[in-house]
Chains A and B, each alone.
Chain A
Amino acid sequence: MSDDFPPLSLNVPEPGCRPGDTPDFSDFEIPRAGAVKRPPVDVEPDEIREMAFSIVRVLNKDGEAVGDWAGALTPEELREGLRHMLTLRAFDARMLIAQRQGKTSFYMQHLGEEAISCAFATALQPGDMNFPTYRQAGLLIAGGYPMLTMMNQIYSNAEDPLHGRQLPIMYSSKEHGFFSISGNLGTQFVQSVGWAMASAISGDTKIATGWIGDGSTAESDFHSAMVFASTYDAPVVLNIVNNQWAISTFQGIARGGVGTFAARGHGFGIASIRVDGNDYLAVHAVAKWAAERARRGYGPTLIEHVTYRAGGHSTSDDPSAYRDKNEAAAWPLGDPIERLKKHLITIGEWSEERHKQAEAEVMDTVIATQKKAEAIGTLGDGQAPSPRDMFEGVYETMPPHLIRQRQEAGY
């Protein structure tokens, strides 16, 4: 009987489009805006299984906010959100150029993904803790963290709040609910669940959010996080940012041939929702729903933010080597800033002129702040952190051998 079996072969998933091919997202199913109903926050995960296969969308193609998830934000709040996204985009543009000028060694931009972290930030409360990856600086920008401090860290100058010890863009601010970013992928997804469980054990009302990319869901940490969040109903919102590409590896390599990333939650009995990551209103509404669910003790939510990384992975990446240059433009969910702008104009709360003016103001602020930071110093120029700082913080109290090494170094 064994003679009847043909030889086995290995399946290696391939993306739909490589450089030179015509980008084609026609297989990508996009439900109408407003089609997905908003369930009560105490819903049983079993009752919303289909939400892991659909996409929560609020803004339709005419720029109107429709359906159950609309109406969470006032026009003033929406204009504020637009300004946060414009600021993040301008900040990225200037810092990218600064890296090319050698003022810092490394940078990662958010192009196309601005809505996710900016809209999420305003759904949280002071004291909540984010465990972000490297593409959620909108949590800081929208959370009021000083831009000058961010730049000082990027330039690793004497005013760097982390004293020259940590990589640029790997921000850290306990006060602003932004846990120190880890360069090692996935580690913080499971830590966010631990932080949330600690909040529950302490009888507090704070919640945690974990963040991970599509590629890193392959890491063991992702699966461990889901087990603990599920078993203990941890007050945590677990976010997967599916931006289609993990450097050169397309999302199908981590996901496999079938299902969605959100559907990974079903096996754990976790409420799982997909949301249009380029729709500021949808991200905010879903974030608010999940945050309330966690804070009221109804358990964790897994959110898959469906988006597209329009820029390179980092300043060390060249996307044209592995994906077609026209793919970003063909991405069917559009640009988050353009979509929110269109909505505000449609409801009579914004105009092309005001938008131009806002863009210019934001850029002026970024450039003025950049000048202040550069007056202090940039990587290799100006005032640098003191070598004294190098020996601090290894332990809470400096042990004698480090005091000796510091003295030998002349500090």
Chain B
Amino acid sequence: MATEILMPALSPTMEEGTLAKWLVKEGDTVNSGDIMAEIETDKATMEFEAVDEGIVGKILIAEGTEGVKVNTPIAVLVEEGESADDYQASGGASSDDSAPAEAPASDAPAAAAPEKATAQPAKVLEPDYPEGTEMVQTTVREAIRDAMAEEMRRDENVFLMGEEVAEYQGAYKVSQGLLDEFGSKRVIDTPITEHGFAGIATGAAFGGLRPIVEFMTFNFAMQAIDQIINSAAKTLYMSGGQMGAPMVFRGPNGAAARVGAQHSQDYAAWYMQIPGLKVAMPYSAADAKGLMKTAIRDNNPVIFLENEILYGRAFDVPKLDDYTVPFGKARIWREGSDVTIVSFGIGMQYALEAADKLAEDGVSAEVIDLRTLRPMDLPTVMESVKKTNRLVTVEEGWPQGSVGSYIASEVQREVFDYLDAPVMVCTGKDVPMPYAANLERHALITTDEVIEAVKQVTYR
């Protein structure tokens, strides 16, 4: 019986890739383990091995094809005596057969999510760029890279250091091309010690340079946190204003997919608590770019919280020579009158999805992206609550001491009389992140939970 060979997912977050090269041709016999093709993603090139024995009956996707979605049939294996025509003949029937085969992939939240963000603001309210600016679809990954490259061209004191940032172009390929352009003096692969290189970078900042420190993930930055908080954040204060640390600590934060308890934590609430730090946590590519440029120019240490799942998403980014986004200014993504939903980073995905679904039920939600958590644009939130009288906050982090609980406390103090319902704080569950796909889904905040919270505050 003919077997379809499907485009493999080489990592949990891979959604599509380029079929770079076929190493077999039609008519070849393959054995389990033989290398059949080379697949390229924006992260890496991988060899793809045969699982079953058989004869390559038909190649369905030509080499060089870009954007091949995971689980698309790319070839057909036949047994001896069969021909690829048999596959054609059974092609109609096999569309049903393939449904269960695709089921596992649909468990991966990243695979189910569209690569292009569906929710662009209908009209950007108070844009950070002149009206009529040309827009270019750019991924968050490219936007961060472009921002770093532009600032490194602008100021030779800016440099990037971290594990795998140079030769390997970043564990998540965020520093693509930077080593080629700026050389090994400004794009530096470090030994594996977050505590060590965070301290080195803090020292370099004290010495007059402007380091960008990449953490492979913010989970690994926990051993560097003494340098970040006790030294980078507090030295300006402790030295009577003589010496500060103009630097950026950046990297993916929060849950990706299938990376378990030690690699999935959201640190937004932790860093937001520290005087002396600034904290940015962008959702869109435009904000990632504009905020990163602002972060690099800032004379204070900035924590820049990125997200692995968002890296591959494309958004409109204004085509400007020098596009910056100010800190402490929230963006209203969607205007509404019945409820205010406040979020930041990947939480915006749940907020916007919930707002779309609520609109179908006639609930008009205003969605605010905080963009930076310190400084935090609470006035924008307050103004919105005065209008909608209801507030729901959304984040992936844990409930106790969450970002939302701080917002709730400020809002009830400032605009108590405007509230028609208690503030609802939507967070992840109060457990370390489990690995298994079904448990992971339960542990994270979901769009349905956001909708449920909105229904509670609107008494529906």
- Residues of A that sit less than 8 Å from B by CB: 10, 12, 93, 96-97, 100-103, 105-106, 156, 160, 163-168, 170, 182-186, 215-216, 218-220, 246-249, 253-254, 315-318, 320-322, 378-381, 384-385, 387, 389-391, 394, 401-402, 405, 409
A249 near B192 (CB under 8 angstroms)? Answer: yes
B437 near A253 (CB under 8 angstroms)? Answer: no
Give the nearest-CB partner of A93 in chain B. Answer: B33
Instruction: With both chains docked as a complex, state the minimum distance between the C-beta of A180 and any C-beta of chain B, in angstroms.
Output: 11
Q: How far is the CA of A390 from the CA of B432 in the complex (A)?
A: 9
Q: How far is the CA of A381 from the CA of B102 in the complex (A)?
A: 10
B436 near A156 (CB under 8 angstroms)? Answer: yes
The contact string, 1 if C-beta is below 8 Å from chain A, for chain B 183-204, is 0110011111101100000000
Given known A218-B192, A253-B189, contact A165–B261 (CB-CB < 8 A): yes
Given known A184-B262, A247-B164, contact A387–B429 (CB-CB < 8 A): no
Instruction: With both chains docked as a complex, state the minimum distance between the C-beta of B207 and any C-beta of chain A, in angstroms.
Output: 12
A216-B192, A253-B191 known, 17 other contacts, Cβ within 8 Å: A102-B8, A165-B436, A165-B439, A166-B260, A166-B261, A168-B435, A185-B192, A219-B193, A219-B196, A249-B163, A316-B11, A322-B167, A379-B107, A380-B108, A394-B431, A402-B430, A409-B442
Instruction: With both chains docked as a complex, state the minimum distance between the C-beta of B459 and any C-beta of chain A, in angstroms.
Output: 20
Q: How far is the CA of A185 from the CA of B442 in the complex (A)?
A: 28
Chain B residues whose CB sits within 8 angstroms of the CB of A249 once the complex forms: 163-164, 167, 189, 191-192
Chain B residues whose CB sits within 8 angstroms of the CB of A315 once the complex forms: 10-11
Please name the 3 residue pairs, one residue from A and one from B, whose CB atoms are nearest each other, closest first.
Answer: A164-B436, A218-B191, A380-B104
Instruction: With both chains docked as a complex, state the minimum distance between the C-beta of A60 and any C-beta of chain B, in angstroms.
Output: 32
Give the nearest-CB partner of A247 in chain B. Answer: B164
A387 near B192 (CB under 8 angstroms)? Answer: no
A167 near B260 (CB under 8 angstroms)? Answer: yes
**Cβ of B133 < 8 Å from any Cβ of A?**
no
Q: Report B196-232 residues with CB < 8 Å from chain A CB.
A: 196, 219-220, 222-223
A248 near B167 (CB under 8 angstroms)? Answer: yes
Q: How far is the CA of A237 from the CA of B221 in the complex (A)?
A: 28
B164 near A384 (CB under 8 angstroms)? Answer: no
* Residue in contact with B188 in the complex, picked from A12, A156, A385, CB distance below 8 Å: A12
Instruction: With both chains docked as a complex, state the minimum distance between the C-beta of A96 and any C-beta of chain B, in angstroms.
Output: 8
**Cβ of B451 < 8 Å from any Cβ of A?**
no
Chain A residues whose CB sits within 8 angstroms of the CB of B195 once the complex forms: 219-220
Chain A residues whose CB sits within 8 angstroms of the CB of B257 once the complex forms: 105
Instruction: With both chains docked as a complex, state the minimum distance between the C-beta of B278 and any C-beta of chain A, in angstroms.
Output: 26
B431 near A391 (CB under 8 angstroms)? Answer: yes
B192 near A102 (CB under 8 angstroms)? Answer: no
Give the nearest-CB partner of B106 in chain A. Answer: A380
Count residues of chain B with CB under 8 A from any CB of chain A.
Answer: 57
Instruction: With both chains docked as a complex, state the minimum distance between the C-beta of B335 and any C-beta of chain A, in angstroms.
Output: 32
Given known A97-B51, A316-B44, contact A248–B164 (CB-CB < 8 A): yes
Q: Which of B32, B171, B192, B429 is the most central at the interface, judged by chain A CB atoms within 10 Å of its CB?
A: B192
A164 near B434 (CB under 8 angstroms)? Answer: yes
* Residue in contact with B44 in the complex, picked from A160, A317, A405, CB distance below 8 Å: A317
Q: How far is the CA of A81 from the CA of B341 in the complex (A)?
A: 61
Instruction: With both chains docked as a complex, state the minimum distance between the C-beta of A199 and any C-beta of chain B, in angstroms.
Output: 26
A379 near B167 (CB under 8 angstroms)? Answer: no
Q: How far is the CA of A166 from the CA of B258 in the complex (A)?
A: 9
Given known A105-B12, A249-B189, A318-B46, contact A384–B437 (CB-CB < 8 A): yes
Give the nearest-CB partner of B399 in chain A. Answer: A401
B49 near A322 (CB under 8 angstroms)? Answer: no
Give the nearest-CB partner of A162 in chain B. Answer: B435
Given known A97-B33, A102-B105, A317-B44, contact A390–B442 (CB-CB < 8 A): yes
A105 near B258 (CB under 8 angstroms)? Answer: yes
Give the nearest-CB partner of A382 in chain B. Answer: B104
**Cβ of B45 < 8 Å from any Cβ of A?**
yes
Given known A248-B164, A390-B443, contact A380–B260 (CB-CB < 8 A): no
Instruction: With both chains docked as a complex, state the minimum distance between the C-beta of B109 and any C-beta of chain A, in angstroms.
Output: 12
B220 near A184 (CB under 8 angstroms)? Answer: yes
Chain B residues whose CB sits within 8 angstroms of the CB of A93 once the complex forms: 33
Instruction: With both chains docked as a complex, state the minimum distance between the C-beta of B268 and any C-beta of chain A, in angstroms.
Output: 20
**Cβ of B243 < 8 Å from any Cβ of A?**
no
A322 near B168 (CB under 8 angstroms)? Answer: yes
Number of A-B residue pairs, CB cutoff 8 Å, is 166
B434 near A390 (CB under 8 angstroms)? Answer: yes
A318 near B48 (CB under 8 angstroms)? Answer: no
A183 near B104 (CB under 8 angstroms)? Answer: no
* Residue in contact with A378 in the complex, picked from B46, B104, B188, B432, CB distance below 8 Å: B104
Give the nearest-CB partner of B442 in chain A. Answer: A387
Chain A residues whose CB sits within 8 angstroms of the CB of B108 once the complex forms: 380
Chain A residues whose CB sits within 8 angstroms of the CB of B192 once the complex forms: 185-186, 215-216, 218-219, 246, 249, 254
Chain A residues whose CB sits within 8 angstroms of the CB of B258 once the complex forms: 105-106, 167, 379
Give the nearest-CB partner of B193 in chain A. Answer: A218
* Residue in contact with B438 in the complex, picked from A317, A384, A391, A394, CB distance below 8 Å: A384
Chain A residues whose CB sits within 8 angstroms of the CB of B219 once the complex forms: 184
Give the nearest-CB partner of A411 in chain B. Answer: B442
Q: How far is the CA of A316 from the CA of B308 in the complex (A)?
A: 14
Chain B residues whose CB sits within 8 angstroms of the CB of A106 once the complex forms: 12, 258
A-B contact pairs, 29 of them (CB 8 A): A101-B8, A102-B105, A105-B258, A156-B437, A164-B434, A164-B439, A165-B432, A165-B435, A167-B258, A167-B260, A218-B193, A219-B192, A219-B193, A219-B195, A220-B196, A248-B164, A253-B190, A317-B44, A321-B44, A321-B168, A379-B104, A380-B103, A380-B105, A384-B437, A387-B439, A387-B442, A390-B429, A390-B431, A402-B430
A165 near B437 (CB under 8 angstroms)? Answer: no
Given known A93-B33, A97-B49, A183-B263, contact A164–B435 (CB-CB < 8 A): yes
Chain B residues whose CB sits within 8 angstroms of the CB of A253 once the complex forms: 189-191
* Residue in contact with A183 in the complex, picked from B8, B44, B49, B260, CB distance below 8 Å: B260
Chain B residues whose CB sits within 8 angstroms of the CB of A321 once the complex forms: 44-45, 167-168
Chain B residues whose CB sits within 8 angstroms of the CB of A168 once the complex forms: 435
B223 near A102 (CB under 8 angstroms)? Answer: no
Q: How far is the CA of A317 from the CA of B172 in the complex (A)?
A: 11
Instruction: With both chains docked as a complex, state the minimum distance between the C-beta of A344 and any C-beta of chain B, in angstroms.
Output: 26
Chain B residues whose CB sits within 8 angstroms of the CB of A380 once the complex forms: 103-105, 107-108, 437
B191 near A254 (CB under 8 angstroms)? Answer: yes
Q: Which of B51, B263, B439 is the most central at the interface, judged by chain A CB atoms within 10 Å of its CB?
A: B439
**Cβ of B419 < 8 Å from any Cβ of A?**
no
Chain A residues whose CB sits within 8 angstroms of the CB of B260 once the complex forms: 165-167, 170, 183
**Cβ of B387 < 8 Å from any Cβ of A?**
no
Q: How far is the CA of A378 from the CA of B100 in the complex (A)?
A: 14
Chain B residues whose CB sits within 8 angstroms of the CB of A389 once the complex forms: 434, 439
Chain A residues whose CB sits within 8 angstroms of the CB of B236 once the complex forms: none
Give the nearest-CB partner of B32 in chain A. Answer: A97
* Residue in contact with A318 in the complex, picked from B45, B184, B223, B439, CB distance below 8 Å: B45
Give the nearest-CB partner of B172 in chain A. Answer: A316
Instruction: With both chains docked as a complex, state the minimum distance between the C-beta of B304 and any C-beta of chain A, in angstroms.
Output: 21
Q: Which of B103, B105, B163 is the most central at the interface, judged by chain A CB atoms within 10 Å of its CB?
A: B163
**Cβ of B259 < 8 Å from any Cβ of A?**
yes
Q: Report B148-164 residues with CB < 8 Å from chain A CB.
A: 163-164
Q: How far is the CA of A220 from the CA of B192 in the complex (A)?
A: 10
Chain A residues whose CB sits within 8 angstroms of the CB of B435 once the complex forms: 156, 164-168
Instruction: With both chains docked as a complex, state the minimum distance between the C-beta of B197 and any C-beta of chain A, in angstroms.
Output: 9
* Residue in contact with A220 in the complex, picked from B32, B223, B261, B429, CB distance below 8 Å: B223
Q: Report B6-60 residues with CB < 8 Å from chain A CB.
A: 8-12, 32-33, 43-46, 48-49, 51
* Residue in contact with A102 in the complex, picked from B104, B196, B442, CB distance below 8 Å: B104
Given known A182-B262, A316-B44, contact A220–B164 (CB-CB < 8 A): no
Give the nearest-CB partner of B14 in chain A. Answer: A316
Give the nearest-CB partner of B196 in chain A. Answer: A218
Instruction: With both chains docked as a complex, state the minimum distance between the C-beta of B298 and any C-beta of chain A, in angstroms.
Output: 25
